[in-house]
Chain A
């Protein structure tokens, strides 16, 4: 069964303290891995799509990387406004749907 696991469930950082969020997946065939940001009470906001191992994408303080088993979302020198839940999702060869992980809730304190 296709599965997506995110860790940690929650992460508290001091402003400027860099860290990484993990998304590991077990799927029959990956056709894309997606990262979203979700603020409380709002819908997910698209961040990145990665398609193949070794691929990297960057946006401001965020950098997403992909290997054959997992993806990392690196946050460099985070600010309080980066506080949100970060979701990853996979698209596989077997399905027409996105399979989401349960997310990492990030809190950045000044």
Chain B
């Protein structure tokens, strides 16, 4: 158990809908990262927050947004969902902002868009 929690574990929704994925980092970690893992593209970095502020952005679509709250939990919002958004979404946390800090991954949320 990495100490990172993600909810829900599974999510099934229809095209055009909006969903929110939630992540609680390990105790003491200030950074939260979001990743998308699909069968054809592997693990893709979406966005990073450090202590409530956006720190780095990857291949995140404009339909997707994220935030980190004062209690350090983070939410990833996915809107106008398309079939191609079906994937595993992972959250990771680390104690510091830089990539030299080890990232601990949560168990993921499996999103299925029908």
Contact = CB atoms under 8 A, between A and B. Distances in A.
- SS class, residues of chain A in contact with chain B: strand
Nearest to B101: A49
Nearest to A51: B100
Interface string B4-38: 10000000000000000000000000000000000
B42 A103 contact: yes
A45 B90 CA distance: 12
Interface residues of A, number: 21
- Max chain B C-beta neighbours (<10 A), residue from A44, A45, A99: A44
Interface of A: 31-32, 36, 41-46, 49, 87, 89, 91, 96-103
B90 A91 contact: no
Contacts, number: 51
A43 B106 contact: yes
A96 B102 CA distance: 14
A97 B90 contact: no
Given A43-B92, A44-B43, A97 B105 contact: no
B48 interface: yes
A87 B103 contact: no
B99 A42 contact: no
Interface string B35-57: 00000001111001000000110
A43 B58 contact: no
B45 A43 contact: no
B90 A98 contact: no
B99 A98 contact: yes
Nearest to B59: A97
Counting chain A CB atoms within 10 Å of each CB, the highest count among B58, B99, B105, B108 belongs to: B99
B39 to A, nearest CB: 9
B104 interface: yes
